[in-house]
């Protein structure tokens, strides 16, 4: 019986399978097998024993049901795995888990699960990057109104919006690559990290195990890999979630009925409301914003998991059973949903233009002020003059440029042609060039990745 929505509603099957009980058990067995092989290489156990342990350290031999059965009796999850593996290895089972402590196995297995999960996250981030790059190129010259404080400010372009998100996604890809160095580490260091149980071969055993598994060995640990590592991971996932939330929030606002400049895709047979047949709700973007709240909240328990009693206690364990799979499955859902929304984003050019001119050229107040300054009026004097004219135009419901033409103070400095040149489409500054710069930067990053 499924209880949590990540079991049946959110995340791809690929991501859910990583955190499935069967795969988690397999990763624990992978670590036990690597430990046996390391011991054999150093002459601590017979090579035949390592071969048998490696051959049988998989879920075809070690059944999840048997592990649970043992755990119900002894109330220790890792010892249940050890016993289940030992019993199917016969006489060779006596070498299973030799010198290791539970978290040598758990933390190293977690690193393997995290590694697989981050590969999916990285792939999705790169796909999102490609979608945003395409949109930035296509809409480099799509002029729209820029808004600050929810109010019309001055013109910008949709290319700028997409390029801002694009640049941010690239930062996440860069962060992810840096993060791997600190997060994808395992340990084989014994009860309190001293490696006493491995005697003088401890560092070599740890090196061999991690080399076997494709991980880096932790530099130092006590009984566990320190949880600042997991806290950084959770903070990274929450930061990615905040970008997806930002994108979703902008789309939701731009899809408001009275704005309606863009809209997330709406299927031919999609239903918007159980009672209002006309509705086209931005449900995908709302889902992304909603799930982001869960990702944000998971950072706090990850931070609280770092301070533990002495060389460790167990308060982090139950938390991590929840927040690790939950966070990865939800970020997977959010990334894939955002890609789908942006790939099918619908534009309404007539509304984009309508909103650009909605304020009767009040948004031309800044370029008007700068034009007056250019022609010789002091900047502060120009600001106050344009402010008064703008307030007059607003109160009277008139076009700012019409009011400006009646101003004797303005006429001392500006001709009809000067005033006529004040058009929203003419006031986008270097927006296209800025977008081109971002795209060039991203394409250089892509080339570096393919070298």
Burial of 20 (0-12, 13-18, 19+ CB in 10 A): middle
Q: Does an H or E element contain 146, and which?
A: strand 143-148
**pLDDT of res. 289:** 98
For the whole model, what pTM was predicted?
0.94
**pLDDT of res. 277:** 82
d(CA 409, CA 383): 13
Whether 1 has a pLDDT exceeding 90, the answer reads no
At residue 20 the predicted structure's pLDDT band, cuts being 50, 70 and 90, is very high
Please report how many Cα atoms fall inside a 13 Å half-sphere around the Cα of residue 38, on the Cβ side.
26
Buried b (16+ CB within 10 A) or exposed e, 135-153: bbeebbebbbbbbeeeebe
Catalytic residue selected from 75, 149, 278, 310: 149
Phi, psi of 198 (to 5 degrees): -100, 0
100 C-beta neighbours (distance < 10 Å), count: 24
Is 149 labeled as catalytic in the residue annotation?
A: yes
d(CA 347, CA 341): 12
Q: What is the pLDDT of residues 86-103, one digit of tens each?
A: 999 999 999 999 999 999
130 C-beta neighbours (distance < 10 Å), count: 16
**pLDDT of res. 267:** 77
Catalytic residue selected from 4, 273, 297, 318: 273
Would the CA dihedral through 443, 444, 449, 450 be positive or negative? Answer: positive
Q: What is the pLDDT of residues 260-301, one digit of tens each?
A: 999 999 877 887 777 888 888 999 999 999 999 999 999 999
Q: What percent of the chain has pLDDT over 70?
A: 100
350 C-beta neighbours (distance < 10 Å), count: 10
At residue 208 the predicted structure's pLDDT band, cuts being 50, 70 and 90, is very high
Average pLDDT over the chain, rounded to an integer: 96
Whether 390 has a pLDDT exceeding 80, the answer reads yes
Q: What is the pLDDT of residues 217-276, one digit of tens each?
A: 999 999 999 999 999 999 999 999 999 999 999 999 999 999 999 999 987 788 777 788
Cα radius of gyration (the chain): 30
Ordered domains of the chain (ranges, CATH) = 362-421 (1.10.40.30)
Q: What is the pLDDT of residues 44-72, one digit of tens each?
A: 999 999 999 999 999 999 999 999 999 99
Q: Is 292 helix (H, G, I), strand (E, B) or coil?
A: helix
Q: What is the pLDDT of residues 130-148, one digit of tens each?
A: 999 999 999 999 999 999 9
Q: Does an H or E element contain 155, and which?
A: strand 151-157
Yes or no: say if 203 and 195 are a contact pair by the CB < 8 Å rule: yes
At residue 387 the predicted structure's pLDDT band, cuts being 50, 70 and 90, is very high
Across 443-450, average pLDDT: 95
């Amino acid at each position: 019986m499924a209880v949590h929505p990540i079991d049946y509603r959110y995340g791809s099957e690929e991501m859910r399978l990583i955190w499935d009980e069967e795969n988690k058990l397999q990763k624990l067995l992978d670590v036990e097998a690597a430990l046996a092989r390391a011991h054999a290489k150093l002459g601590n156990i017979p090579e035949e024993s390592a071969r048998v342990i490696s051959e049988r350290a998989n879920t075809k031999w070690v059944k999840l049901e048997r592990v649970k059965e043992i755990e119900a009796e002894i109330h220790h999850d890792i010892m249940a795995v050890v016993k289940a593996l030992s019993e199917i290895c016969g006489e060779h089972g006596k070498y299973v888990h030799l010198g290791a402590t539970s978290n040598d196995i758990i933390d190293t297995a977690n690193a393997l699960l995290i590694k697989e999960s981050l590969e999916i996250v990285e792939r999705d981030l790169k796909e999102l990057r490609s979608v945003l790059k395409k949109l930035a190129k296509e809409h480099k010259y799509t002029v729209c109104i820029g808004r600050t404080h929810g109010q019309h400010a001055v013109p910008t372009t949709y290319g700028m919006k997409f390029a801002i998100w694009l640049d941010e996604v690239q930062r996440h890809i860069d962060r992810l690559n840096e993060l791997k160095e600190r997060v994808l580490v395992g340990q084989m260091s014994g009860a309190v990290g001293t490696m006493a149980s491995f005697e003088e071969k401890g560092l070599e055993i740890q090196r061999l195990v991690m080399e076997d598994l494709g991980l880096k060995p932790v530099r130092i640990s006590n009984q566990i890999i320190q949880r600042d590592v997991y806290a950084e991971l959770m903070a990274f996932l929450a930061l990615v979630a905040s970008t997806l939330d930002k994108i979703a929030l902008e789309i939701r606002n731009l899809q408001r009925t009275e704005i309606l400049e863009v809209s997330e895709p709406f299927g031919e047979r999609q239903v918007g409301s159980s009672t209002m047949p006309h509705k086209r709700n931005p449900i995908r973007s709302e889902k992304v914003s909603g799930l982001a709240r869960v990702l944000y909240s998971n950072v706090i328990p990850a931070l609280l998991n770092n301070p533990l009693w002495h060389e460790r206690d167990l308060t982090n364990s139950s938390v991590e059973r929840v927040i690790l799979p939950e966070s990865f499955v939800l970020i997977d859902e959010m990334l894939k949903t955002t890609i789908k929304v942006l790939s099918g984003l619908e534009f309404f050019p007539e509304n984009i233009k309508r909103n650009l001119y909605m304020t009767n050229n009040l948004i031309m107040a800044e370029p008007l002020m700068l034009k007056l300054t250019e022609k010789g009026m002091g900047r502060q004097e120009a600001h106050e003059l344009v402010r008064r004219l703008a307030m007059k135009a607003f109160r009277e419901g008139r076009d700012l440029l019409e009011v400006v033409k009646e101003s004797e103070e303005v006429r001392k400095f500006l001709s009809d042609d000067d005033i006529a040149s004040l058009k929203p489409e003419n006031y986008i500054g270097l927006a296209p060039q800025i977008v081109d710069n971002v795209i060039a930067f991203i394409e250089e990053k892509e080339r570096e990745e393919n070298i």
